[in-house]
Amino acid sequence: MPSPPVAKKIPKIDVVHGDVRQDDYFWLRQKDDPEVVAYLESENAYTDAILTSTEPFQQALYQEMLGRIKEDDQTVPYQRGAHFYYLRTEKGKQYPIYCRKQGRLEAPEEVTLDLNFLAQGHPFLALGGYAASDDGHRLAYTVDVTGFREYTLYVKDLRTGQLAPERIEKVSTLAWCADPAILFYVTEDHAKRPYRLWRHRLGAATDDLLYEEADELFRLHLRRSRSLAYVFATSASLTSTEVRYLPATEPGARWAVLLPREKDHEYDVDHGGDLFYIRTNGGGLRNFRLIVAPVRDPRPARFTELIPHREEVMLEDVDVFADHYVVHEREDGLTRLRVTDRRDGASHHIHFPEPAYEIDPEPNAEFVTSRYRFRYQSFVTPSSVYDYDMSTRALTLLKRTEVLGGYDPARYRSERRYATAPDGARVPLSLVCRADAPRDGTSPCFLSGYGAYGIPYPVTFSSNRLSLLERGLTVAVAHVRGGGELGKRWHDAGRMLAKRNTFTDFIAVAEFLIKDGYTAPDRLVIEGGSAGGLLIGAVLNLRPDLCAAAVLRVPFVDVITTMLDESLPLTVAEFEEWGNPKIPEHYRYMKTYCPYTNIAAQRYPDMLVRTSLNDSQVMYWEPAKYVARLRAAKTDDHLLLFKINMAAGHGGASGRYDALREAAFDYAFILTRLGQRS
C-alpha cells in the first residue's frame, strides 16, 4: 500500500483575544505556488492508487447509473410571451441545449443556446442568467468557465444568431426593462459580493451606475416581476432586506425604496394589478405573514393583511398571478400549496400523501393564466411536473422523469421519523430503504445532513441512489437545527451561539437509527457537503466512534480562520450565520466546534474528503489543511483520502457524464467501506 502524502509544516502564529493559534498548513493557500499544486496532485495520486482495486466497481456503478437515465430527453416547455421555452439533452453530450418554439408546440425548433458549443475548449461550464427581451429578439445570458462562479454577460440576437459586442465581467444577476434595447445588471466587488446596479443600453460604450450597496453585510439581487410591470433590486443580508423598485417601462426613472432596511426584518415583494404582495417577518414574527400595499402609496399605514403569522407554519414563498396567488407553506417539515382567488379571497390547499416529499415551482412565466406549474418528487417518486388549474382544481401530470430498467416504487419504503436531541427537541429525519429491509441492526445506512442558512434539506428522488438501495442500504436525511425545515426558529436554534445544536441533533439522529434497528455503528456512513461538511467534521471530532466511514464534500472546516479573513467571498455577510470571531464571545464559541481547530490525537473512521480547486464558496485550502492536520494527528491506520477536482468549483464537475463518474467514485468508496465490491 502506498504511503500517504505528508504536507510540510510552516508554522504561522497568530494571537486572537490573547489566545495563541498555530497554523502549520496556512501555506497551502498559495494557489499559484507549484509546491501547493504538486501537493494537491500527490493527494489525488495517492487516492487513485488506494482505490485502484475499485476501478472495475466504479465503472460498473457508472454504467449501472447511466443505464437508468434517458440520455435523449426534454423538459416540459413553458410559455413566455410568444414563445415556448425548453431544454433538451442529446446522448453523448455533456450539457443541455436551450431551445424555443414560436406560437405553438408544433412550430420549428429554434436553438437559443447550445451549452456544448460554449463549453468547447473548457473543462468546466456553468450557465448563470438566461433572459429573453420582452419582444423575444434578444437573449442576455451569463456563463462561468472556471467554477469560481465569476460570470460574464453576453447578449445574443436571436434573429441572426450573432453576439452583440457586449462583454461585461463579474455579473451576478440581470433583468431586461420593457425597452428591448436596455437591460439592468449587478456586478460583484473584490470579495464576490454583488453590490453595484447598472443600466446598459445595447451598443453604448459606457453604462450608468444607478446604485452601490455600501454595507458589506448586504448583497444586491435583481429580478423582474412576473407581471413584467416592475424591476426589483433587493439588498439583503442574512437577517435584513431592503427592496427598490422601478416601473419596467421607465428605465430612466428614480428607483424607489419599498420599506427601508431595519434589524431582523426580512421581506420580499411581488406585483399584481394595483398591489404589491409583501412576505414579511417584521416585528419579530419570524415565520412571515403576507400583506398587500397599494402600488401608488405602499406605506405601512396602507398595509392589508392577507395571511397572518402562525408560529407553527413557515410562509416560504408567494407566486402572484392575474387572478390568483399561490403560497408555499411549510408545517412540521412538509410543504403544502395554498391557492387563493384574488377576486374573492377564497383559499384552498393542495395536499400530498407521502410521508416525505419536495415541492418546487416551475418557471410559471405567464402572469395571465389559471394554471400553476410545480415539480413534485420524493424518495420513491421520480421528479414529476404538474399543471394545477387554480380555478377548476384539476391536477394534470405533464411529465415524470423516466427511470429506465424497470423501476418499481413499490420495492421501496419511505418514512418520516423523529429523534430526540439532548435538550428534548424533536428532530425530523426522512429515510428510504427497500421494502423488505430488516430492522435488526444488520442493514447498512447512509446518513446525510446540512443544517445551515435556514435551508431545508430537500427530500428528492435520485436514480443514482438506487445503486445504494438495491445493495441493501437505508438512505436517511437528518433535518437538524440550523436548517429551515421547521421555520425560522429552527434556523435560529442552530446558528450563531446555538450552532452546536446542529451537531448534537445529527448525533441524536444517528443514535436513533442505531437504537431502532435501522443500522449499527459499523454499518453507518455519514455525509455532508459545504456547511454540511462542517457538520460532519464537528461530529467526527465529538463522536469518531459513531460510524464506519464519512464523506465530506467541499467542507467548511476551518471556520475561525475563514471568518477572520474579510477579503474572502461570503465572510462578512456570514457574520450573521456563524458569528464574528473578532468578537471575543463569538471566537470562544467557534473554538468549541471548529473542525480544524478541534482535530485530536484519536481514532477516526475511514474518510473521503472532496474539494475543487476553483471553489469560490469554500476555498480548496480549507479541506487541504484539514486533511494535512488530520493525517498528522490521528492515531489509527484507517483510510483518509483526499480527492481534488482541479478544474471545477463548488458543485464539482459541470458535465453530466463527468458528474456521474464522480458519483460512481463516491459510491465505490462508500460501498467498499461497507464490505461490498460488486
Catalytic center residues: 530, 615, 650
Distance CA 5, CA 284 (A): 52
Strand extents, DSSP E, 354-425: 358-361, 371-377, 384-389, 395-400, 412-420
What's the count of helices (H) and strands (E) in the chain, helices before strands? 12, 38
Contacts of residue 14, defined as CB under 8 A and 6 or more positions apart, other chains included, come to 20, 21, 23
Among 166, 129, 170, CA closest to 150: 170
- Classify residue 354 by burial, with Cβ atoms within 10 Å: 0-12, 13-18, 19+: middle
Q: What is the DSSP letter of 483?
A: B
CA 61 – CA 661 distance, rounded (Å): 9
Q: Which three cell numbers stand for residue 15?
A: 494571537
3-state secondary structure of 525: strand
Strands 241-247 and 230-236: antiparallel
Distance CA 598, CA 619 (A): 19
Residue with cell 441512489: 465
Instruction: Point out which residues pair with 181 in neighbouring strands.
Output: none
Cα 597 from Cα 541, distance rounded (Å): 10
Dist. CA 310–CA 269, nearest whole Å: 19
C-alpha cell at 381: 417518486
How far apart CA 19 and CA 590 sit, in angstroms, is 13
Q: Which helix H or strand E contains 632, and what residues bound it?
A: helix 621-633
Q: Yes or no: say if 510 and 523 are a contact pair by the CB < 8 Å rule.
A: no
Closest CA to 533 of 461, 463, 590, 450: 450
φ and ψ of 263, to 5 deg: -60, 135
Helix (H/G/I), strand (E/B), else coil: 48? helix
> Are the C-beta atoms of residues 386 and 373 closer than 8 Å to each other?
yes
- What sign for the dihedral angle of Cα 494, 498, 503, 509? negative
Q: Do residues 333 and 456 touch, judged by C-beta distance below 8 A?
A: yes
DSSP state of 394: -
Rounded (10°) CA dihedral 489, 494, 495, 497 = 110
Closest to 300 measured CA to CA, from 264, 327, 265: 265
> Which amino acid, residue 55?
E
Contact in structure between 530 and 493 (CB atoms under 8 Å): no
3-state DSSP call for residue 531? helix
